[in-house]
Structure 1
């Protein structure tokens, strides 16, 4: 009887589990499409590297500003409500791309990206814990890792959509543009801008349909109830923030996460730009290197996870950070195809950084863990800040020089890793970043 009851409960959770697991795919698509939008908007709106880099600034500011409101909604109204709100915001942001293209307004696109990321803040805050309650507790870790395996598929799909349905591969230098008539030049810019309309309209419709499915589907009671601290005495938000600020090790982790996300986003955002400047590739061809990057990232996660069963995670983190400092400096000094491959290789060593920093930062926080997790999610604003810094340096020097910023980021991570107590390992859980 007990076995039959467990089986019945598992079947009831299967459909909600499929719906929520798909979210990991959806935010992988959104995140990696940005790497294609940067060169696309640079061409279509004739932007500087700093201006095109605002794609990531707008996106990650959405994460930063909505992480805590998302946690509040999740705690007060339950996981399911937070998911529905996140999907509605995601779809709304995607739909904004249509009038933005019609009106040829870059600022509207930035607004749409901000709204999309606001939705993703809700989805990422709620999806991970929700997966753990959709089934038996002893299989929670398995379900979470299975769900997270769909994130790389979304990332690859995002690059595929961008490369084949947005990037045209048509590029004109300043001389060719100057030789065009005003009408021909304007027609070229408009066609490049409108290339984003179709893909984002489809994405918006699919996400909106998913919001409706989640809303109408019956979820287990744990998905709709208030989500409170799992254990320990309840601590008010402001009180918990004050206590966390008094923990230097945790705050160092927040800083390390800020610089890690800045490095990852900066490398992936400007990889196409680097390939164009150093090898003369078109944006469409250069996007192929983003596939190699994600493959390196995925392989690095498998190998890094295996190494952590034998070697202390913070030691691996520190060594990988040192290797990436070398790869970044090599890309700055050498340039060309070898420099581009150095950027690709860096993703292998970045792969374990986000979850390792996250896990070691929250280890031992007890009933401060959820607030600490929110602050760590907010630290991904590094992707907004440091990508803009790299764009500014590129505009005033060269795209190669901008990667000095990412070398400095990895130096901070190495310092964090090597100053970690030997017992600050934590249960490293791989995530989508």
Structure 2
């Protein structure tokens, strides 16, 4: 008999899974609209591509600084309070865009994004591992990919809303104010309900602590490196898609944001849904390897060619990226033994890769005058991801 995806040891975790999965949309939206801010700030403040990449550096740098405190919150007070802390910080950072639009200072916006990043760190530190434990352990990769599908919808809506508003002259404060109010409302609702902790419930039932399982340090370390490089690649691609589209595909910013939302992020969403199904029949490491090969080929086309073929390659690239983060995250957690919450904090710290790649890619584009050459950075990252899939034992 095949294990149920949401049932384990007599408990049904479907309800808590649905509540937590709804949060994945929120940070998907936050990351999606972030990619529109780069070209918007370049135009509004007349800054270089390298300088505009500080928007990504602020958000993803917050992941590095906040991951261990977020893990401590989750370890001490549980998943629910970790999620609530993240939502409050997220909401405050979003509402800071209201005075920011009046001050109209680039660095104040960077500060606001840093606060949002701190909130997203708490959310991901709590919600990602929580999704993996809400059911049978053998279905962890399938479950987290299913949750991350809603994250993919947020990635679609973010560029769509951001592109339609920011590139048509609407104040940047409006979408962030709406998100901030909504997020704080959700935080209030979560304060009124209780979410189960499967591991603590199991300990209470057995009246003894779960047997300690040691961490496989080298394998977990390789997983951390791989996740760092994936986030670096994904953020770099997203940050400069619109710049690349203007330069090499010769389309306008607003049109490029539509392609990013419906084409790139649409396939990103489809890929996560398909991946969650495929992993019920195919080992996750093989699905990850196939996606890594697809992204390597697609990124090479982006670097070497231009025009319509490059646009098609970008769509293939987003399809290949779709399952990477949740799959690498879950595979790495398998090497963490019983140190799941500490391991989750360490893995979330690797999201700082998103602060590094945009700066490097922006520098390459500014210094060479060629946006396409900058995509050699994500190409190298995808190659390492493929090697991680090959060397996995499970």
Taking only aligned residues, the RMSD between alpha carbons, in angstroms, comes to 3.4
Correspondence for 1:313 among 274, 284, 288: 284
**Distance across 1 between alignment mates of 2:89 and 2:343:** 25
Aligned to 2:8: none
Deviates more, 1:337-346 or 1:26-35: 337-346
Aligned residue runs from structure 1 range 180-199, under 5 A: 195-199=171-175
Is the Cα contact below 8 Å between 2:226 and 2:388 reproduced in 1? yes
**Distance across 2 between alignment mates of 1:18 and 1:364:** 26
5+ residue gaps in structure 2?
A: 1-10
Correspondence for 2:194 among 211, 219, 222: 219
Is the Cα contact below 8 Å between 1:83 and 1:122 reproduced in 2? yes
TM-score (norm 1): 0.78
Tell me: CA distance 1:143–1:404, structure 2 relative to 1, closer, same or farther (3 Å). Answer: closer
**Distance across 2 between alignment mates of 1:400 and 1:334:** 9
SS of aligned partner of 1:287: helix
Aligned residue runs from structure 1 range 65-104, under 5 A: 65-104=65-104
Tell me: CA distance 1:406–1:388, structure 2 relative to 1, closer, same or farther (3 Å). Answer: same
Q: Shift of the alpha carbon at 1:361? A: 2.4
**Distance across 2 between alignment mates of 1:249 and 1:232:** 21
Correspondence for 1:416 among 378, 388, 394: 388
**Distance across 2 between alignment mates of 1:412 and 1:222:** 35
SS of aligned partner of 2:251: coil
Q: Shift of the alpha carbon at 1:358? A: 2.3
Aligned to 1:251: 221
Aligned to 2:237: 267
Aligned to 1:151: 151
Aligned residue runs from structure 1 range 335-414, under 5 A: 335-397=306-368, 398-414=370-386
Count the aligned residue pairs.
379
Is the Cα contact below 8 Å between 1:390 and 1:402 reproduced in 2? yes
Correspondence for 2:257 among 265, 272, 287: 287
**Distance across 1 between alignment mates of 2:282 and 2:143:** 25
**Distance across 1 between alignment mates of 2:240 and 2:87:** 28
Tell me: CA distance 1:253–1:204, structure 2 relative to 1, closer, same or farther (3 Å). Answer: same
Q: Look at both structures and tell me which one has the larger radius of gyration over its CA atoms.
A: 1
Aligned residue runs from structure 1 range 4-15, under 5 A: none
TM-score (norm 2): 0.85
Tell me: CA distance 1:320–1:203, structure 2 relative to 1, closer, same or farther (3 Å). Answer: closer
Deviates more, 1:335-344 or 1:48-57: 335-344
**Distance across 2 between alignment mates of 1:106 and 1:302:** 37
Q: Shift of the alpha carbon at 1:345? A: 1.1
Aligned to 1:109: 109
**Distance across 2 between alignment mates of 1:59 and 1:34:** 9
